[in-house]
């Protein structure tokens, strides 16, 4: 049978099936489809067709490109366009078969698009979709359409037309045509294909060989596989044309054994071609003969390098050799050999069929045609794409890929797999062509395009690819073998937080050397990942090395569990949780004490920023970290164990430090200094140490004995000297302290002076500051403040004042300018407040205190507000702007105000440089004031902060003072945060799987409103252990990770 007859027959057959009354169901059953369970879909369709007794032609086709939407089926009914359905499950497949084939309902809700002539209502054109619009499908034109097991379908769609034309030309003309097309090697290096062919054609020696490199090994690359699985004949036709042009008589297809489907399809294709006389002797009567051999590579990455590949075919170990001689001179079995990769061969038939000019009309000046790319990584739409050369990275990522998943930010794209480099997001307008990519330090490569978002760490990316090339280097030449080993070690140490600043220039040097002096393409390109990440993301390397910080939270050693990272003092939350889960409560408490001298105070009062970042939030609710801390602290207090042990740490240093103010900041600083052996004296003007907690925060929130308990530990067990009732500025001056040989002084006097609102009508005893009221009550004066109390402001002092007033019998309203969801207090506290019958007047800003003629307060006059978008200086909250002319009255007999507090420096009688607002000017790094050796920290500097921030400030002050006393420069200690101890995860019982975050026991409001006893009662032991077991253990590392 001549080719013309064959063509005729194939076309008729194709026409018959396409136009027959039998519907055709195509299922994308390439590897990508099968991985998405296309096999089950096929079974379901077969079954459904049988059950409904339908006549349907079911065809397994290759990948049409949009792998993200697999499994795909497409149904062609006579007179209708093909309709593609995506994300198919067996059930959906049954539904579609029934609805569309039987009931003629095209199900637009499940359809993705239509292909071919005609339109279907509510279904877009498939190739007009955003994913396909920028694409140009030349090499993949048949993928997903023809049956890759049927040569006639390929022939009917123009197959072997290129070979036919080539055979009618002289071999030289064929080479010329390819040269004219501007086609360049698609394997990565981009060597002009026509030139390569002519070199091999001119080389002396016989026989000549052709090789198709189908050893696609880059992580994240599957272009060649998709082409081989979707349209294997195309590649073989390309090789036949090449063989004719070069005068080769044998060709090898070197396909990796990991592509079983591709291997099956290629050998099937070769058999069919032999059957139809398209391969063998005297092809198409031209006298030209050619034979194919299929060779399976056993999986060495380096065998993708041409000299290794040839060694492998020759039965030798796959190791490269120096070039020259080039394969064109001495290749396979010492004969002239031409190697091209799958995509290059696949382009040849199109060029011969449509002409070089048509091909060259796509692409850029020096990079012609299209390029298949495997778009993978963090974009929304992944898959095989074919785009004209010169398309920009942004177009690929945003238009085809649809941007990043989960609204993440695009960060970089790795081209060329492990041999390539990363292009940063800010170079997104880079056109994809050989020259531009090379200029940016990466390569086109075979077409792997791994997109990365801001949750990808670039150091980790470099380490990952280096880990790959280190294992895949053949080990022959020293730079590649030793270089990858050392580069990997350096990157691994940076990744583990052991990097040194000199590692960066060293990495750069060695990468350059490995690129310059390696023997083969593997070594000559593997340094690009390191170099590009170093060039485009130097800040990430610096952060890893200098600040032990991984911004993407990928490098595990640099990324403590999110709770620990969120904690201002860095308490090792996962470890103490795990210890609680094991029932080791005392050990858990000791773990907390390592970082925080106030476990009980924190357990009662901490605003727990840790819980906001808890990983468990992704599934249900955060671990109740604070309540667990309170539980272990309470457990110890009840047992009274700690008090028995009294052995303060020894004083090993002479330099004395004086700390003014025994609040949490002062005591934390004292604790840290004393634990290191420095003698410390804390001076407190009040009769008790403990600051605001002890003199203002109401008993029902934290009983005084809890604070006293921890102060006592610091005094007795740690050995800090606390002098109460000594007011610096009155009883002693700072100068006196210096005279008494205190080398350093820390001012931690807190912020006790309330800020006034200065409203008209604010004179009189019935207008009081909330903090004064709280102090009065705490001191024992439990007099009712008035029948109707209006509280202006909504900080913790205001809330506490409101609750206290409610307990003393007042009716209370809180006036707050924003809405409920903007309140600066936690939801748990808010709920308690509302239970205590305290009203809120949201969205109101007071303008005047209205008084009766007798001088008593009548109401608070307010203006209504409306919320506006946040501006930058407003802590991200909405701005509340008053509405002009609006008016609102909140009745009251007493008004309490709490809109902030500031530090009262005047009492110190000590001259320090202050800013225009009256706060102490300090060096933000060292906390040192304008006076040498005098430091200031805590609320005194920052204004009122949370208790955990106060403790953190004290710790920082202690670290700085320590450096000052030793005469060294203070630097923020960036250290690796590692779990304090390795705790194995506990067995989680079945009943726990449905266990949800327990609420702390809270006394009912009708009971608690009449006393000052604690509102919250904490967790029971059983609940605490259960709760601790819910922890997902973000800190946990497997044994091998620890190495």
Partner 1 sequence: MVTLEIDGQEIEVEEGTTVLKGAQKLGIYIPTLCYEETIKPYGACRLCVVETIVNDRSMFQSSCSLSVAEGMIVKTNSKPVVKGRKILLELYLSRCPEVKRVRELCDQYGVTETRFTTFDKSEDCVLCGLCVRVCEELVGARAIDFVGRGTERKVDVPFERVWDECVACGACTYVCPTGHIQNEAHRVAQLKRQLGIQRKCRYMLMGAVSNKLCPNNYECWRCEYEQRTEYRLGEHAVLALKPAQRQGG
Q: Which residues here bind partner 1, judged by CB under 8 A?
A: 300, 317, 319, 321-322, 324, 470-479, 481-486, 489, 502, 506, 509-510, 513, 516-519
**Residue 23, SS3 per DSSP:** coil
**Spatial distance between the Cα atoms of 151 and 348, rounded to a whole number of angstroms:** 18
The nearer residue to partner 1, 340 or 518, going by C-beta atoms, is 518
User: Checking DSSP bridges between strand 934-936 and strand 422-424, what pairing results, if any?
Assistant: unpaired
At its nearest, how many Å lie between partner 1 and the CB of residue 120? 55
The nearer residue to partner 1, 149 or 508, going by C-beta atoms, is 508
At its nearest, how many Å lie between partner 1 and the CB of residue 696? 58
The nearer residue to partner 1, 474 or 941, going by C-beta atoms, is 474
The nearer residue to partner 1, 488 or 970, going by C-beta atoms, is 488
> What single DSSP character describes residue 986?
P
Peptide bond into 377 cis (omega under 30): no
At its nearest, how many Å lie between partner 1 and the CB of residue 257? 17
At its nearest, how many Å lie between partner 1 and the CB of residue 424? 27
At its nearest, how many Å lie between partner 1 and the CB of residue 493? 9
The nearer residue to partner 1, 507 or 947, going by C-beta atoms, is 507
At its nearest, how many Å lie between partner 1 and the CB of residue 190? 15
Place of tokens 């923020």: 972
256-260-262 Cα angle (round to 5): 80
The nearer residue to partner 1, 512 or 972, going by C-beta atoms, is 512
H or E element that contains 753: strand 753-754
Token pair for 759? 């409203």
369-371-376 Cα angle (round to 5): 160
Q: How far is CA 476 from CA 320, 463, 482, 486, 525, in A?
A: 8, 22, 10, 16, 16
The nearer residue to partner 1, 517 or 819, going by C-beta atoms, is 517
Contact 329, 336 (CB under 8 A): yes
The nearer residue to partner 1, 458 or 474, going by C-beta atoms, is 474
Contact 581, 1025 (CB under 8 A): yes
At its nearest, how many Å lie between partner 1 and the CB of residue 207? 24
CB burial readout 874-891, b (16+ within 10 A) else e: eeeebebebeeeeebebe
Helices 342-354, 161-168: inter-axial angle, 10-degree rounding? 70
The nearer residue to partner 1, 208 or 470, going by C-beta atoms, is 470
Nearby residues of 297 by Cβ (< 8 Å), 6 or more positions away: 215, 254, 255, 256, 257, 303, 309, 312, 318
**Residue 851, SS3 per DSSP:** strand
Token pair for 707? 């604070």
Which has the closest alpha carbon to 953: 932, 976, 927, 914? 927
User: Checking DSSP bridges between strand 57-61 and strand 73-76, what pairing results, if any?
Assistant: unpaired
Contact 664, 950 (CB under 8 A): yes
At its nearest, how many Å lie between partner 1 and the CB of residue 971? 25
User: Checking DSSP bridges between strand 844-851 and strand 857-868, what pairing results, if any?
Assistant: antiparallel
Task: Calculate the CA 309 to chain-centre distance.
Answer: 38
The nearer residue to partner 1, 329 or 451, going by C-beta atoms, is 329
List, as one string, the DSSP characters of 355-398: -HHHHHTSB-SSSBSEEEEEEEESBSS-EEEEEETT-BHHIIII
At its nearest, how many Å lie between partner 1 and the CB of residue 511? 10
Token pair for 573? 């939350």
At its nearest, how many Å lie between partner 1 and the CB of residue 216? 19
Contact 135, 400 (CB under 8 A): yes
At its nearest, how many Å lie between partner 1 and the CB of residue 252? 23
926-929-931 Cα angle (round to 5): 125
List, as one string, the DSSP characters of 484-502: HHHHHHHHHHHHTT---TT
Q: What is the four-CA torsion angle of 774, 776, 779, 782, rounded to 10 degrees? A: -90
At its nearest, how many Å lie between partner 1 and the CB of residue 322? 4
The nearer residue to partner 1, 247 or 482, going by C-beta atoms, is 482
Which has the closest alpha carbon to 113: 147, 86, 140? 86
**Spatial distance between the Cα atoms of 135 and 370, rounded to a whole number of angstroms:** 9
The nearer residue to partner 1, 322 or 855, going by C-beta atoms, is 322
At its nearest, how many Å lie between partner 1 and the CB of residue 350? 32
> What single DSSP character describes residue 325?
S
At its nearest, how many Å lie between partner 1 and the CB of residue 324? 6
Q: Exposed, middle or buried, 365 (CB in 10 Å: 0-12/13-18/19+)?
A: exposed
Peptide bond into 207 cis (omega under 30): yes
The nearer residue to partner 1, 111 or 494, going by C-beta atoms, is 494
At its nearest, how many Å lie between partner 1 and the CB of residue 256? 16
At its nearest, how many Å lie between partner 1 and the CB of residue 308? 11
Contact 441, 421 (CB under 8 A): yes
The nearer residue to partner 1, 162 or 499, going by C-beta atoms, is 499
The nearer residue to partner 1, 321 or 1003, going by C-beta atoms, is 321
User: Checking DSSP bridges between strand 888-891 and strand 879-882, what pairing results, if any?
Assistant: unpaired
The nearer residue to partner 1, 314 or 881, going by C-beta atoms, is 314
The backbone torsions φ and ψ at residue 477, rounded to the nearest 5 degrees and listed phi first, read -95, 150
The nearer residue to partner 1, 470 or 743, going by C-beta atoms, is 470
Q: What is the Rg, in whole angstroms, of the alpha carbon atoms belonging to the chain?
A: 38
At its nearest, how many Å lie between partner 1 and the CB of residue 330? 12
The nearer residue to partner 1, 474 or 711, going by C-beta atoms, is 474
At its nearest, how many Å lie between partner 1 and the CB of residue 1031? 37
Peptide bond into 154 cis (omega under 30): no
């Amino acid at each position: 049978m001549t080719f013309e007859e064959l063509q005729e027959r194939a076309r008729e057959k194709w026409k018959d099936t396409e136009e027959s009354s039998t519907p055709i169901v195509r299922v994308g059953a390439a590897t990508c489809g099968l991985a998405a369970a296309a096999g089950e879909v096929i079974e379901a369709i077969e079954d459904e067709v049988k059950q409904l007794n339908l006549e349907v032609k079911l065809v397994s086709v290759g990948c049409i490109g949009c792998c993200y939407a697999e499994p795909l089926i497409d149904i062609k009914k006579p007179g209708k366009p093909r309709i593609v359905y995506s994300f198919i499950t067996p059930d959906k497949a049954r539904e579609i078969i029934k609805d569309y084939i039987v009931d003629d309902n095209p199900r637009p809700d499940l359809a993705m698009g239509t292909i071919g002539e005609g339109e279907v209502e509510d279904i877009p054109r498939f190739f007009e979709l955003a994913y396909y619009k920028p694409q140009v499908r030349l090499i993949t034109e048949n993928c997903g359409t023809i049956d890759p097991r049927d040569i006639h379908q390929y022939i009917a769609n123009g197959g072997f037309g290129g070979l036919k034309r080539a055979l009618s030309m002289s071999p030289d003309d064929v080479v010329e045509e390819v040269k004219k097309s501007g086609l360049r090697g698609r394997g990565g290096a981009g060597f002009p294909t026509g030139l390569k062919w002519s070199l091999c054609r001119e080389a002396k020696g016989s026989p000549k060989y052709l090789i198709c490199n189908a050893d696609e090994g880059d992580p994240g690359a599957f272009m060649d596989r998709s082409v081989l699985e979707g349209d294997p004949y195309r590649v073989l036709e390309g090789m036949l044309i090449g063989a004719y042009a070069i005068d080769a008589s044998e060709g090898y297809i070197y396909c990796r054994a990991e592509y079983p489907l591709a291997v099956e399809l290629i050998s099937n294709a070769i058999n069919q071609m032999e059957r139809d006389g398209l391969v063998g002797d005297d092809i198409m009567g031209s006298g030209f003969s050619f034979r194919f051999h299929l060779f399976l590579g056993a999986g060495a990455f380096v065998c993708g390098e041409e000299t290794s590949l040839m060694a492998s075919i020759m039965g030798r170990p796959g190791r490269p050799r120096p070039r020259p001689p080039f394969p064109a001179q001495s290749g396979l079995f010492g004969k002239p050999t031409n190697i091209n990769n799958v995509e290059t061969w696949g382009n040849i038939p199109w060029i011969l069929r449509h002409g070089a000019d048509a091909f060259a009309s796509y692409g850029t000046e020096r990079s012609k045609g299209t390029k298949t790319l495997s778009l993978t990584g963090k974009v929304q739409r992944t898959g095989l794409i074919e785009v004209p050369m010169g398309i920009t990275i942004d177009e690929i990522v945003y238009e085809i890929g649809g941007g990043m998943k989960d609204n993440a930010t695009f960060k970089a794209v790795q081209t060329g797999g492990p041999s390539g480099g990363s292009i940063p997001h800010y170079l997104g307008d880079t056109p994809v062509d050989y020259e531009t990519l090379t200029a940016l330090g990466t390569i086109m490569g075979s077409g792997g395009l791994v997109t990365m978002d801001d949750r990808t760490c670039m150091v980790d990316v470099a380490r990952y690819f280096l880990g790959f090339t280190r294992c895949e280097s053949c080990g022959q030449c020293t730079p590649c073998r030793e270089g990858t080993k050392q580069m990997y070690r350096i990157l691994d140490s940076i990744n583990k937080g052991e990097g040194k600043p000199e590692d960066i220039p060293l990495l750069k040097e060695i990468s350059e050397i490995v690129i310059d002096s390696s023997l083969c393409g593997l070594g000559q390109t593997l340094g690009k990942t390191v170099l590009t990440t170093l060039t485009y993301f130097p800040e990430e390397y610096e952060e890893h090395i200098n600040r032990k910080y991984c911004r993407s939270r990928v490098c595990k050693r640099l990324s403590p569990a999110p709770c620990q990272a969120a904690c201002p003092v860095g308490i090792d939350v996962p470890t103490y949780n795990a210890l609680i889960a094991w029932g080791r409560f005392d050990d858990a408490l000791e773990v907390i004490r390592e970082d925080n001298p106030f476990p009980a105070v924190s357990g009662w009062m901490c605003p727990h920023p840790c819980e906001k970042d808890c990983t468990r939030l992704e599934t249900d609710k955060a671990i109740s970290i604070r309540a667990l801390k309170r539980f272990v602290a309470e457990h110890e207090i009840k047992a009274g164990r700690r008090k028995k042990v009294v052995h303060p740490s020894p004083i090993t240093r002479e330099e004395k430090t004086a700390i003014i103010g025994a609040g949490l900041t002062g005591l934390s600083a004292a604790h840290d200094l004393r634990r290191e052996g420095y003698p410390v004296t804390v001076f407190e003007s009040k009769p008790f140490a403990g600051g605001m907690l002890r003199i203002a925060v109401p008993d029902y929130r934290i009983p005084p004995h809890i604070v006293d308990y921890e102060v006592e530990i610091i005094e007795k067990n740690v050995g800090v000297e606390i002098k109460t009732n000594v007011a610096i500025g009155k009883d002693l001056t700072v100068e006196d302290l210096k005279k008494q040989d205190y080398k350093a002084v820390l001012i931690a006097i807190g912020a006790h002076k309330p800020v006034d609102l200065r409203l008209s009508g604010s004179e009189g005893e019935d207008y009081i500051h909330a903090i004064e009221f709280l102090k009065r009550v705490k001191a024992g004066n439990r007099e009712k403040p008035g029948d109707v109390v209006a509280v202006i402001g909504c900080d913790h002092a205001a809330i506490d004042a409101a609750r206290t007033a409610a307990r003393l019998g007042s009716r209370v309203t809180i006036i707050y300018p924003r809405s409920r969801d903007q309140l600066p207090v936690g939801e748990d506290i808010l709920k308690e407040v509302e239970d205590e019958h305290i009203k809120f007047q949201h969205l109101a800003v007071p303008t005047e205190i209205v008084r009766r003629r007798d001088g008593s307060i009548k109401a608070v006059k307010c203006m209504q507000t409306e919320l506006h978008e946040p501006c930058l200086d407003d802590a991200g909250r909405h701005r509340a702007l008053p509405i002009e002319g609006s008016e609102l009255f909140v009745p009251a007999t007493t008004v309490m105000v709490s809109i902030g507090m500031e530090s009262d420096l005047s009492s110190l009688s000590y001259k320090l440089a202050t800013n225009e607002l009256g706060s102490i000017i300090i060096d933000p790094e060292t906390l040192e004031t304008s006076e040498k050796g005098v430091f200031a920290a805590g609320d005194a500097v920052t204004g009122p902060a949370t208790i955990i921030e106060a403790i953190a400030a004290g710790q920082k002050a202690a670290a700085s003072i320590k450096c000052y006393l030793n005469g060294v420069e203070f630097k923020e200690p960036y250290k690796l945060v590692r779990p304090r101890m390795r705790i194995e995860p506990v067995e989680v019982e079945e009943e726990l799987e449905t266990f949800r975050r327990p609420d702390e026991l809270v006394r009912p409001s009708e009971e608690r409103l009449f006393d000052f006893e604690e509102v919250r009662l904490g967790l029971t032991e059983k609940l605490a252990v259960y709760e601790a077991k819910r922890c997902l253990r973000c800190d946990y590392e497997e044994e091998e990770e620890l190495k």
